C-alpha cells in the first residue's frame, strides 16, 4: 500500500481505478472475462511502474482479482461481506462516498464491464461497451432485458469520457444506434484466451473419431442452431458416407431439449455430439476440429474464430459485420439463414483438402492483425490522453492513502 501511495502521490504513475464490481464468479461473461484479464495484464507489463491499478472488486470475485494484481496495485473490496481483506494490498470500503475516486487519488476510472457507478466529477471515465445484442438482434432477448440494457448503455454513454469498443464494427454500431460522436470512440481487439491444457478424456474420444465440424455457442436465438441442424442433414444427404460429424458445445439450458428433439426428428442424432461446455473439453474439441462452422447471426466479438485461426482450424462463417472484420478472406463464406448455403459450404470444406490448407494459411497471415501488445498499447494511449487533460488534474488533497 505504501508503494502505491508513493507512486500516486509523487505522480510517478498513472492511477487507474478499474471497476470490476460487476464481475461474476461463473462463466456467464463468456470469453470476456479472460480476455479482459489478459488485456489488463499486458497493460501492466508494458507500463510497469508507471501504472498503478486500484481494483474495485466484489466479495465473490475478490480472489480472482487478487491473482491479477501486482504488489504495487491496490484492491478495494466495496462489499461488506466476505473474509477480511489481506493486508497490505487490500482494504475494505463497504459504503464508498460518491467522490471516493478523488479521495483515493485515482486519475481515471476504467469501467470494462460497462457500469459507471463510481464515476465522479473531475475523474475521467473510460468504459468498454462490447455488447449491443439488444439493438442488433433483439429477438434473442425479452422486452425487459432490452429495456434494461438500453438504459445501462445510455447511462454509460452519459458518464463516460471515452468509449472503448471491441472492434471497428462495434464503433460503427454504436454510432448508428446511439449517435455517439466518432471522436468519443476507439476500439481495441480483445485478446483470445490462453491455450489451456486439453481435457484428456475428450482427446481420447476425439482420436477415435473421424474429422468433424465444431460449433461452440450457447443456445441463444441468434446463434442459429436450428438452421445449422437442418443444413447439416442436407449436407449428410449430399456427402453420403464421407460426411463429417458435428460437435456442438453449449451450456445446458431449456432450449437444449428442443434442439435434441429436432436432431432426433431429422435423424442426425447418431452424428451429433454435445460434449458440454467445460473450457478444457471445448479446447480439446476446438483444437482437433476439421473445421469451425460459425453460422451465428450476431457477434460482439467471436473468440472462437480467433482461436480457430490460432489452432489452424479452417473457418466457415457468415457476413455479420464483426465476423467479417475478424475472419476477412480467411473464412469460407456462407449465408447463415439459408440451409442450402450452409450445406453447400460444409460439403465444399469437407471434400476439398486444398481449400482447407489455403484457409489455414490465410488464417495464419491474418492472425498478425490481432496482437495483444498492440491492443494494450492502444488502451494505455487512450488512458494517458484522457488523464493528461488539464481539467483532469489529480485531486490528491486529503488523500487517505
Partner 1 sequence: MKIGFDVAQTCVTRTGCGWYADALIRAMAAAAPENEYYLYHRFGRWKSTDPCQGTLLHQPGVHMPYWSPENTPPAAHPKKKGATNADLPGSPDIVQSNSFQAPAVGSARLVVVVYDVSFWVYPEFTTEANRQACQRGVCEALDRADGFLFISQSSMEEFERILPGWLERNHRLAAAIPLASRISAEPKEEPGAYWLAVGSLEPRKNYGTLLSAMELYWKRSSRRIPLHLAGGKGWCNQDLLARIAALKKTGMVRLLNYVADEALPELYASAMGLIFPSWYEGFGLPVLEAMQCGCPVISSGRTSLSEVGGDAVMTIGPESPASICEAMLRMESDAAFRRCLVAAAKQRAERFSWEATAKATLDFYRKILTQPPASLKR
> Of 264, 329, 361, 388, which one interacts with partner 1 (CB under 8 A)?
264
338 lies in the binding site for partner 1 (CB under 8 A): yes
> Of 262, 278, 321, 355, which one interacts with partner 1 (CB under 8 A)?
262
User: In Å, how far from its chain's centre is CA 267?
Assistant: 35
Per CB under 8 A, the segment of 7-15, 171-179, 307-315, 332-340 that binds partner 1 is 332-340
104 vs 346 by CB, closer to partner 1:
346
260 lies in the binding site for partner 1 (CB under 8 A): no
Tell me if residue 8 falls in helix, strand or coil.
helix
190: Cβ–Cβ under 8 A, 6 or more apart, which residues? 31, 32, 35, 36, 39, 130, 166, 301, 303, 375
> Of 35, 113, 129, 230, which one interacts with partner 1 (CB under 8 A)?
230
Tell me if residue 125 falls in helix, strand or coil.
strand
60 vs 321 by CB, closer to partner 1:
321
Q: How far apart are CA 49 and CA 14, in angstroms?
A: 9
261 vs 374 by CB, closer to partner 1:
261
Quote the least distance from Cβ 237 to partner 1, whole Å: 5
Cell of 191: 485478446
Contact call for residues 153 and 170 (beta carbons, < 8 A): no
Contact call for residues 280 and 287 (beta carbons, < 8 A): no
Per CB under 8 A, the segment of 7-15, 157-165, 227-235, 382-390 that binds partner 1 is 227-235
Per CB under 8 A, the segment of 98-106, 195-203, 336-344, 390-398 that binds partner 1 is 336-344
47: Cβ–Cβ under 8 A, 6 or more apart, which residues? 14, 380
Site residues for partner 1, window 285-304 (CB under 8 A)? Answer: 297
Backbone angles phi, psi at 11, to 5 degrees: 60, 25
Contact call for residues 131 and 300 (beta carbons, < 8 A): yes
Could you tell me the CA-to-CA distances from 70 to 36, 45, 88, 168, 273 in Å, in that order? 16, 10, 12, 32, 42
Site residues for partner 1, window 54-73 (CB under 8 A)? Answer: none
221 lies in the binding site for partner 1 (CB under 8 A): yes
Contact call for residues 266 and 186 (beta carbons, < 8 A): no
User: In Å, how far from its chain's centre is CA 142?
Assistant: 22
Quote the least distance from Cβ 222 to partner 1, whole Å: 9
151 vs 261 by CB, closer to partner 1:
261
139 vs 389 by CB, closer to partner 1:
139
299 vs 307 by CB, closer to partner 1:
299
230 vs 331 by CB, closer to partner 1:
230
139 lies in the binding site for partner 1 (CB under 8 A): yes
218 vs 335 by CB, closer to partner 1:
335
7 vs 230 by CB, closer to partner 1:
230
> Of 265, 389, 393, 400, which one interacts with partner 1 (CB under 8 A)?
265
Tell me if residue 249 falls in helix, strand or coil.
strand
Site residues for partner 1, window 4-33 (CB under 8 A)? Answer: none
Quote the least distance from Cβ 328 to partner 1, whole Å: 23
Q: How far apart are CA 140 and CA 143, in angstroms?
A: 10
> Of 33, 193, 233, 287, which one interacts with partner 1 (CB under 8 A)?
233
339 lies in the binding site for partner 1 (CB under 8 A): yes
Per CB under 8 A, the segment of 7-15, 48-56, 219-227, 310-318 that binds partner 1 is 219-227
How crowded is residue 221: how many other Cβ atoms within 10 Å of its Cβ? 15
What is the sign of the dihedral through the CA atoms of 66, 193, 297 and 235?
negative
86 vs 237 by CB, closer to partner 1:
237
Contact call for residues 103 and 5 (beta carbons, < 8 A): no
Tell me if residue 368 falls in helix, strand or coil.
coil
Task: Provide the CB-side half-sphere exposure for 377 (13 A, CA).
Answer: 5
Interacting residues with partner 1 (CB under 8 A): 137, 139, 221, 226-227, 230, 233-234, 237, 261-262, 264-267, 297, 335, 337-340
Amino acid at each position: 500500500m505504501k508503494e502505491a501511495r508513493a507512486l500516486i502521490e509523487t505522480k510517478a504513475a498513472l492511477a487507474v481505478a478499474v471497476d470490476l464490481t460487476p464481475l461474476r464468479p461463473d462463466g456467464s461473461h463468456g470469453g470476456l472475462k479472460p480476455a479482459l484479464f489478459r488485456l489488463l495484464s499486458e497493460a501492466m507489463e508494458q507500463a510497469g511502474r508507471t501504472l498503478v491499478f486500484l481494483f474495485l472488486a466484489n466479495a465473490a470475485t475478490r480472489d480472482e482479482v487478487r491473482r491479477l494484481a501486482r504488489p504495487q496495485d491496490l484492491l478495494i473490496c466495496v462489499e461488506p461481506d466476505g473474509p477480511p481483506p489481506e493486508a497490505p494490498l487490500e482494504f475494505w470500503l463497504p459504503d464508498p462516498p460518491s467522490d471516493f475516486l478523488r479521495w483515493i487519488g485515482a486519475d481515471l476510472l476504467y469501467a470494462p464491464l460497462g457500469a459507471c457507478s463510481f464515476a465522479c466529477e473531475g475523474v475521467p471515465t473510460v468504459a468498454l461497451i462490447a455488447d449491443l445484442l439488444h439493438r442488433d438482434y433483439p429477438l434473442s432477448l425479452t422486452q425487459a432485458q432490452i429495456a434494461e440494457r438500453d438504459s445501462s448503455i445510455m447511462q454509460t454513454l452519459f458518464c463516460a469520457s471515452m468509449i472503448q469498443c471491441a472492434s471497428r464494427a462495434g464503433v460503427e454500431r454504436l454510432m448508428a444506434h446511439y449517435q455517439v460522436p466518432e471522436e468519443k470512440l476507439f476500439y481495441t481487439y480483445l485478446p483470445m484466451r490462453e491455450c489451456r491444457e486439453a481435457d484428456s478424456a475428450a482427446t481420447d474420444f476425439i482420436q477415435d473419431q473421424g474429422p468433424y465440424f465444431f460449433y461452440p455457442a450457447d443456445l441463444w436465438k441468434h446463434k442459429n442452431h436450428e438452421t445449422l441442424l437442418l443444413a447439416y442433414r442436407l449436407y449428410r444427404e449430399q456427402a453420403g458416407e464421407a460426411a463429417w460429424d458435428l460437435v456442438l458445445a453449449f451450456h445446458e439450458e431449456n432450449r437444449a431439449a428442443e434442439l435434441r428433439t429436432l436432431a432426433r426428428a431429422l435423424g442426425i442424432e447418431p452424428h451429433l455430439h454435445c460434449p458440454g461446455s467445460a473450457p478444457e473439453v471445448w479446447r480439446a474439441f476446438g483444437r482437433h476440429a476439421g473445421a469451425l462452422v460459425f453460422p451465428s447471426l450476431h457477434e460482439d466479438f467471436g473468440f472462437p474464430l480467433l482461436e480457430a485461426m490460432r489452432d489452424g482450424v479452417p473457418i466457415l462463417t457468415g457476413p455479420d459485420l464483426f465476423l467479417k472484420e475478424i475472419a476477412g478472406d480467411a473464412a469460407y463464406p456462407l449465408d447463415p439463414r439459408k440451409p442450402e448455403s450452409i450445406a453447400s459450404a460444409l460439403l465444399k470444406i469437407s471434400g476439398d483438402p486444398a481449400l482447407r490448407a489455403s484457409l489455414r494459411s490465410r488464417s495464419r497471415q491474418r492472425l498478425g492483425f490481432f496482437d495483444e501488445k498492440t491492443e494494450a498499447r492502444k488502451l494505455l494511449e487512450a488512458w494517458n490522453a484522457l488523464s493528461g487533460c488539464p481539467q483532469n488534474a489529480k485531486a490528491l488533497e486529503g488523500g487517505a492513502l
